[in-house]
Structure 1
Amino acid sequence: MGNREDLLAGARRCLEEKGYLRTTVRDIATASRVSMAAIGYHFGSREALLNQVLFAAIDEWSEAVGGLAGEGETAEERFADMWDRKVRNFGELRWLWIANVEAFVHAQSSPELLAALAAGQRAARPHVASLLRGVPESEVAPADARSLGSVQIALMTGVMVQTLTDPEQAPTGRELVAGLRGLAELLEDRSAARTPPGSGPADEWHS
């Protein structure tokens, strides 16, 4: 391998062992057996190198798992199984998801990284919506991308953080299904319980 490939491999090892925020230029150079100056020459900065390695690892994960599609006879069983697989994956690739969280924190003071993360998030919405719908991404309606895609990403981020924080108490797929059903019921109850015209406080004030 050349210096560029050595740096990519070394930065990957550093991400796995030390994380995004704690990895230094010296760490990468030592792991790569390449001079620190080579990082600037090939990538411009430590941040640019780590970003490239992190995004490549995410793409690699995405292609390998194929969205972690679940198995089962019903849609509910497949959805629950999909989440059980994701929770296991969060534990197996703990380094990758912690690096993701650290990159998000760092992005708040790095406009370039924040823009890259935002672009990835926008692209992920229609992709995950297509997986849920079971249709090609080109057939996903913009409204589905915004609704289904956003909710699924929110679930993924939240469940990931819960799993990394307290693995023994990570929610199961069935618990997530039950929670989503409970939220849907709450929304239906709130809608049905709207105050009929003429019986609200404003009407009483005017009477």
Structure 2
Amino acid sequence: MQFDPVLAESDLIISGIVLTLWLSAAAILLGCTLAVLLVALRTLAGRWAGIVVDAYVELMRNTPFLIQLFMIFFGLPLLGIRMSGVEAALLTMTLNLGAYSTEIIRAGIDSIHKSQLEAGLSLALSRRQVFQYVMLQPAFARVWPALSSQFVLMMLASSICSFISVQELSGAAALVEQRTFRSFETYIIVTGVYLVMALSLKVFLLWLGRRLFPQVSGLARLDAKAEAA
């Protein structure tokens, strides 16, 4: 157990952590935005739009993330679309997370009672306004825990991007291992770093959910019960 050679390469590990966090944050933001747009398209644009969205969701949810990554990184250049490893990783993570988030948000929207939609329409709200204010916001509040779990899983799945030579944390760990020949020590450290990042992201998302949905979120009710106890 010799950690000194591994710690001497801490600059590589830190740069890998930074890239992992950047990829994860960008993918969460873009993927969630894509999911909202797809849910809106499915809800407001009619049957054929729903079929297209469903086909995309099923394709992304029923194929391995690694295959999606290879198809984008190695397949798109055959069509004349070239991108770096980081760009391909971000695009794949966004598309993958967008599909899963679409299905999660759809489940939240399906939980909205039909009477609430009819009440919104009776108040002369447009379909877009009903979707935005009556459906989307309560749906986000109800599925926030599931979305948060999916965000954490995507951050961990970023390790797969090392297969296309993206120097995120797993890619940096592989390089440190090659330089130091200390495999066990390297991955002990990397495992601890992933654990800290995952738990920190989980705590942050829990805090964010309580701030974004203070009234309708089950998270707020849990806080109230804890304070009463």
Query: What's the TM-score once normalised by structure 1's chain length?
Result: 0.28
**Which has the greater radius of gyration?**
1
Which structure shows the higher helix fraction? 2
Query: What's the TM-score once normalised by structure 2's chain length?
Result: 0.26
| Relative contact order higher in (CA < 8 Å, ≥ 6 apart) | 2
